[in-house]
Amino acid sequence: MPATNAKQQAWLVAGLGNPGPEYERTPHNLGFFAVDRLAARHAIRVTRKEANSLVGLGEVKGQPVVLVKPQTYMNVSGPAVKMLLDKYELPLSQLLLVYDELALPWGQLRIRPKGSSAGHNGVKSVIRSAGTEEFARLRLGIHPGHPLGDSAKFVLEPMGKPQGKELDEMLDRAADAIESTLARGVEKAMAIYNVSLRPRL
């Protein structure tokens, strides 16, 4: 278990998604992907079964971490995240929630120190369980840049191969952003990563 003393309290980094092979390659699972990318970088196995989640314990940039992928469905992610915060005796100030964001263009990242769910049902569930919006989050943009007929259907449709390279680049930036947030704090990470990408020609 990571050290949780006053000087170096662990961060709980929770990526949101849906379990099961039918959802594995969907935009709604970007939170899972980002946690997996971070875990691979730091040789953390996210395989422990705790609180209806897969959990991995380790260190990222000298910071103790609890990496989490709730295995409930997206819309009821909150109880699992809250149970793990309670189990590891972590305050909400040590939570970083990572998830897909349809309101942002594909590939854009946004770190926020707090805020509403903006209609994201997974985030709604976490806010409901935590009883507050006062926790940090990393939003990963998934809007494809053209009108969507059914947004609920879009987020649950498998991504195509052309998105593979762009997805890889986005996950690298997401892992970078998480590392920066843990090592430097939310405000400094925001200054680095909350920038707009140049439009593709």
Could you list the active site residues? Answer: 28
Name residue 107's amino acid: G
CA dist list (Å): 24 to 31, 120, 157: 11, 19, 10
Nearest to 82 by CA among 72, 74, 92: 92
Bridge partners of 22, per DSSP, are none
Q: Contact 151/144 with Cβ under 8 angstroms?
A: no
Distance CA(21)–CA(23), nearest Å, equals 5
Local structure of 65: helix, strand or coil: strand
Q: Contact 42/58 with Cβ under 8 angstroms?
A: yes
For the record, the structure tokens of 182 come out as: 């843990």
Q: Contact 46/39 with Cβ under 8 angstroms?
A: yes
